[in-house]
Structure 1
Amino acid sequence: MHTLALCLLATLTPIVPSSVDTAVHEYLEATGLPGAAVAVTHGKQVVRIAGYGRTATGEPVTEHTALPVASVSKSITAYAVMRLVREGRVNLDGPVRASLPEFEMADPRAASITVRQLLNQTSGLSDRTFAAFSGPQPRTLQERVAQLRTAGLAADPGAEFEYHNPNYQVAARLVEVVSGRPFDSYLRDNVFGPLGMPDSRTVDTAADLPGTVGHITIAGLPVAVPEPPAFGNGSGGVLSSAHDMAAWLIAQTEPGMEEMHTPAKGSYALGWSVGRTESGARIIKHSGDLFTATAYQALLPDSGYGIAVMTNTGVTAGDAVALAGRLIALLENRSVPLPNVFLPRAVDLGLLLAAAGTVALTVRGVRRRSRWIYLLSLPLVLLPSIHWVVGWLYRGRDVAWIQVAYLYPAFMIWLVVASLCGIAGLLLRMTTGSSRNLRKRRPTRSPQHTS
């Protein structure tokens, strides 16, 4: 073992159930996070599995409450593919088309995409050439693969890393075709069942989630809302519990898992990424973000610990990553301050006040026939194109318009209110102007004199 690893082990503080509970309760109290599920393992032993707080529908979160794990699903899809690889039914470094003949794209380079390149996100598929979120949403994995027939590649296969959900949707469809079974059925009998994960399953779309599963946060207040429409099977469709995620973390310690945890180049392996903690320890991880829920999993091979967290707030809050970070810091005997919730809450309150102020100013401007009312046409220009602006800020990621409302709800409230005020102000201004012009043009009748 390396000297660095030995030094790190010497500073570790063993995690006990009570310390996990304390860290989670402190976080929930400080942030207002409604609910979380946590699993902590050490080697093949379960240290703590528990639920905290409440679901979006008001029930207590328990160790068996199934919550979305979002893109943590990618490591599970990769595991399913690797099972077929170990059985000799799929060639990891062979072309995807050899196992999935229906995989066709408009770009001839797609013929050389390998299964490994799907799993390590170097296939050349990209948000820049295929709108996975803002385009038409499929209902099945087969439909998703069919949609790719008109898409191109952004790079040669194997040349560049680019995170793109359809890579894993194609991989999940490959599992269906090779196994001859629906993806959910295959996972249930060949992954979840053997690993002891009875609470877990996968779904195709956001509409298949069990009602309202999570929240957005406005000015620090969690608001239960349904997940916006999207297709996610293979890339983000798994629901799991603290109990099941503990079994999943323990499964990662089995012989033969090294290939899934080792990148060919860069930091992304097969459904996992690698890095270092703030103390310098090796970490193998993957996060998952929905717009109403987040998840995070981490393996710490130097100490043998595994950590999984699911929370029922969306990507903007980032609670799963933050809470898992506190648990890792607890293990490494580091002090991590609780998140500063004042600034985001103040920004949201400011935007809500701005929305109310915009209404008041519009009413005043219309009454006084102020010319500045025309400035309210500017939000009208931004409103329909806001998802393109956000996509550009997210370095070219594809974003649907409705998703922006989940990412920045207070800002979108102001933008919609300002746009409606702009429409109302312009219409009233035009109506008032027309009425005034009509009165000016109306001829004045001369008084009639009688003798």
Structure 2
Amino acid sequence: MEILKKSISIILIFFSLIINQSCTSQATDTSILGNVNHEYFKQFRKENSIDGIAVALFTNDRVIWKECIGKSTYNKPINDSTLFGICSMTKNITALAVMIAVQEGLVDLDSPIKSYLPDFIINSCYEVSPEDKITLRMMLSNTAGFTHEAPLGNNLDYRCNSKQEHLTSIRDTWLKFPVNTDWSYSALGFDLAAEIIEKVSGMSFENYVKEKIFNPLDMQYSTLSDSEVLSNNNRTEGVVNPFVKKNHKKIPMIGAGAAYSNLDEMIKYVQFQMNFGELNNSQIIEKKHLLEMYTINRNFYGLGTWIVRPDNNSKLETFYLTHSGGGFGYTSNMLWFPEYGIGCVILGNKEFNSEIIESFVTDYILKNDSILHNKNLNIGFSPDFKPKENHNQNLGFVYSNNENKNLAFMNESIVGKYEILLDMTEAKWFAKIVSLLGAKFVTIKVTKENDKLFVSGYFGKNELSEYLPGLYFTDDGEAFDIRRSEPIFKNIKLRKYSDKQ
């Protein structure tokens, strides 16, 4: 915790001082930001072992400053065109693509998923035929009930699964709660939304996003196509293993995490939303559709967008819109304050705490009277931070007629210790070395305590209840399945190495 606090302090000082490094465009407002003290950022990079970062502060029509520092994993200087994986920021792009499809009359947010994917099925221990209830709105707001990961192509699976293999594997997952009764952050709804766009448009999702979003916004290097990423020589890989920095990892989570972009083009993307869909005096998407994205459904989340009040909101009395991303060795974050007209983007080639840009932007606003005292209250919407929510009151198991209810209650075979199987080349040799030293790479264990089963370790501690012989669920709805040769928990593969608690 002390290291984290120290890192946050350093990056705050960095953001308040730095203006003058290697991006192709320099600061345009040096009088406000002050002089450079590059040593602070060097210390931040050293403590966090980050190869390269790109960051910018901007209004809806100009860049206040932008900063690129460090190197790519190919030892090239980071610049404002260096391509980074933006991971979960892809979710906001997918939501925007869906809203464009809504505008075109291709989809309806409140039609069941089976209207577009008639063969789609999903497992649930809480209700029969949940696929008849799940809608695009629920998928984009994380209220459908999906778990976070799919069995193939998840955040711990670097085997370069295809998009179709990943999408097909979603059908094997189990919902965490009855449809639209709770909230849980998930990649799966966004990936399925991308699949729906492909069905209704007759185009690949990669091409649909390029035609409807990237091309109009002049985001010529931004892409969802892995082949286009590989053909770009000005890219950086994400650093998962500091000893293997040039190993490219294909990300099959097409709607949830597969986008790549650069600093210059992410500035354009955020400015487009800051201007409520207007570009060069043309309304690319109607404002009402963006406001759907910015309407809180549950847990301060709209459609592919977080709606957040800053920590020091007693002074600002405002909110900001945001989405971050992290995984496969990348970090990204974008946010903008609609009432103050200030936005920020940060991209990095290692995973680190990117939420610090909230403090940076709020501090910038508070220290600039010309911004602080010119708050625009006529932007056309004000988020409802207390929306009405239907909370599930009954999480009892439900069985269809053909399911076997004869449980092996408190089945002792699940008790024991497990290690997570990491499906990535550079992790396997490391795991072997760790194993030779008598340790395990990442572990969890199942214990029996006072006639109750618990799973604990890497994912926290939760109580387990058996639904079918060998199939258990945690008290927060995650499946633990020992019915197969390789057990899975949260759709992550495991290997049992001990029957002891």
State whether TM-score is above 0.5: yes
CA contact (8 A) 2:183 2:298 kept: no
Give 5+ residue unaligned stretches, structure 2: 1-26, 277-286, 369-432, 446-455, 463-475, 479-488
TM-fit CA distance, 1:261: 1.3
What is the count of residue pairs matched by the alignment?
345
The 1-side partners of 2:135 and 2:303 are apart by 13
CA drift at 1:78: 0.5
Partners of 1:137 and 1:231 within 8 A in 2: no
Q: Which residue of 1 aligns with 2:443?
A: 385
Match of 1:309 among 334, 342, 346: 346
Shift of 1:234: 1.0
Alignment match, 2:238: 214
Counterparts of 1:410-425 in structure 2 under 5 Å? none
Shift of 1:298: 0.6
Structure 1 segments unaligned to the other structure (5+ residues): 1-14, 335-358, 360-375, 403-418, 420-451
Question: CA separation in 1, counterparts of 2:209 and 2:132?
Answer: 27
Q: What displacement does 1:136 show? A: 9.8
Counterparts of 1:175-190 in structure 2, within 5 Å, are 175-190=197-212
Alpha-carbon separation, structure 1, partners of 2:216 and 2:355:
28
2:164 equivalent in structure 1:
142
Partner of 2:426: none
- 1:194 aligns to what? 216
Shift of 1:229: 6.8
Q: 1:23 to 1:274 in 2, by over 3 A?
A: farther
Q: Deviation at 1:181?
A: 1.1
Rounded Cα–Cα distance in structure 2 between residues aligned with 1:55 and 1:20: 28
Q: In the alignment, which residue of structure 2 is the partner of 1:87?
A: 104
Identify the residue that residue 326 of structure 2 maps to in structure 1: 289
Aligned counterparts of 1:227 and 1:164: Cα–Cα separation in 2: 24
Whether 1:330 and 2:360 are equivalent positions in the alignment is no
* 2:290 equivalent to 1:232: no
- How far is the alpha carbon of 1:329 from its aligned partner? 2.6
Q: Distance in 2 between matches of 1:215 and 1:333?
A: 35
1:286–1:312 CA distance, 2 compared to 1 (3 A) = same
Find the aligned partners of 1:274 and 1:69 in 2 and give their Cα distance: 19
Structure 1 residues 125 and 77: alpha-carbon distance in aligned structure 2, compared to 1, 3 A threshold: same
Q: TM-score, length-normalised on structure 1?
A: 0.66
* More divergent stretch after superposition (126-135 vs 107-116): 126-135
The structural deviation recorded for 1:176 is 1.2
Q: Partners of 2:64 and 2:435 in 1: how far apart?
A: 58
| DSSP-derived class of the 2:332 partner | strand
Q: Aligned letter for 1:109? A: P
Q: Which has the higher helix share?
A: 1
Q: Bigger shift: 274-283 or 110-119?
A: 274-283
Alpha-carbon contact 1:38-1:307 (below 8 Å) kept: yes
Could you say which residue in structure 2 is the equivalent of 1:44?
A: 61
In the alignment, the residues of structure 2 paired with residue 303 and residue 127 of structure 1 have an alpha-carbon distance, to the nearest angstrom, of 34
- Aligned with residue 310 of structure 2, among 273, 277, 280: 277
In the TM superposition, residue 99 of structure 1 has moved relative to its aligned partner by 2.0
Tell whether the 8 Å contact from 2:223 to 2:260 is kept in structure 1 after alignment: yes
Contact 1:41–1:249 at 8 Å: present in 2 too? no
Q: Which amino acid aligns with 1:178?
A: V
- Counterpart of 1:392 in 2: which secondary structure? coil
Q: CA deviation at 1:382?
A: 4.2
CA offsets 1:150-185 (integer angstroms, 9 cap, x no match) = 333221211111111111111111111111111111
Supply the AA of the counterpart residue of 2:258: G
> Is the partner of 2:333 in helix, strand or coil?
strand
**Secondary structure of the equivalent of 1:60?**
coil
Please say which of residues 274-283 and 122-131 is displaced more in the overlay: 122-131
User: What's the C-alpha RMSD, in Å, of the aligned pairs?
Assistant: 3.9
Selected match of 1:249 from 270, 291, 294: 270
Per-residue CA deviation, residues 303-361 of structure 1 (Å, 9 max, x unaligned), is 111111101112xx32x333564344333339xxxxxxxxxxxxxxxxxxxxxxxx9xx
**8 Å CA contact 1:195, 1:248 repeated in 2:** yes
Match of 1:58 in 2: 75
Report the AA paired with residue 238 of structure 2.
G
SS in structure 1 of the partner of residue 460 of structure 2: helix
Question: Displacement, 1:50?
Answer: 4.3
Structure (1 or 2) with the greater strand fraction: 2
Give the residue type in structure 1 aligned to 2:460.
W
Does the Cα contact within 8 Å between 1:51 and 1:65 map onto a contact in 2? no
Distance 1:62 1:167 in 2: 33
Aligned to 2:132: 111
How far apart in 1 are the matches of 2:173 and 2:149? 10
Aligned to 2:194: 172
Distance 2:44 2:157 in 1: 39
Select the structure with the greater relative contact order (CA < 8 A; seq sep ≥ 6): 1
* 2:172 maps to 1:158: no
CA distance in 2, matches of 1:307, 1:174: 31
Q: 1:185 to 1:129 in 2, by over 3 A?
A: closer
Q: Give the SS at the match of 1:26.
A: helix
Relative distance call for 1:144 and 1:272 in structure 2 (3 A) is: same
* CA displacement at 1:52 relative to structure 2: 2.2
CA–CA separation in structure 1 for the residues paired with 2:259 and 2:97: 13
* Native 8 Å contact 1:84 1:90 kept in 2: yes
Residue of structure 1 in register with 2:468 after alignment: none
Deviation at 1:226, TM superposition (A): 3.5
Q: In 2, are the aligned partners of 1:217 and 1:313 still within 8 Å (CA)?
A: no
- Which secondary structure state, in structure 2, belongs to the residue aligned with residue 252 of structure 1? helix
Amino acid at match of 1:67: F
Alignment partner, residue 342 of structure 1: none
CA contact 2:149–2:186 (8 Å) conserved in 1: no
SS at match of 2:57: strand
Q: Which moved more, 1:38-47 or 1:133-142?
A: 133-142
Partner letter of residue 60 of structure 1?
P
Tell whether the 8 Å contact from 1:294 to 1:311 is kept in structure 2 after alignment: yes
Distance in 1, Cα, partners of 2:268 & 2:39: 23
**Amino acid in the other structure paired with 1:330:** Y
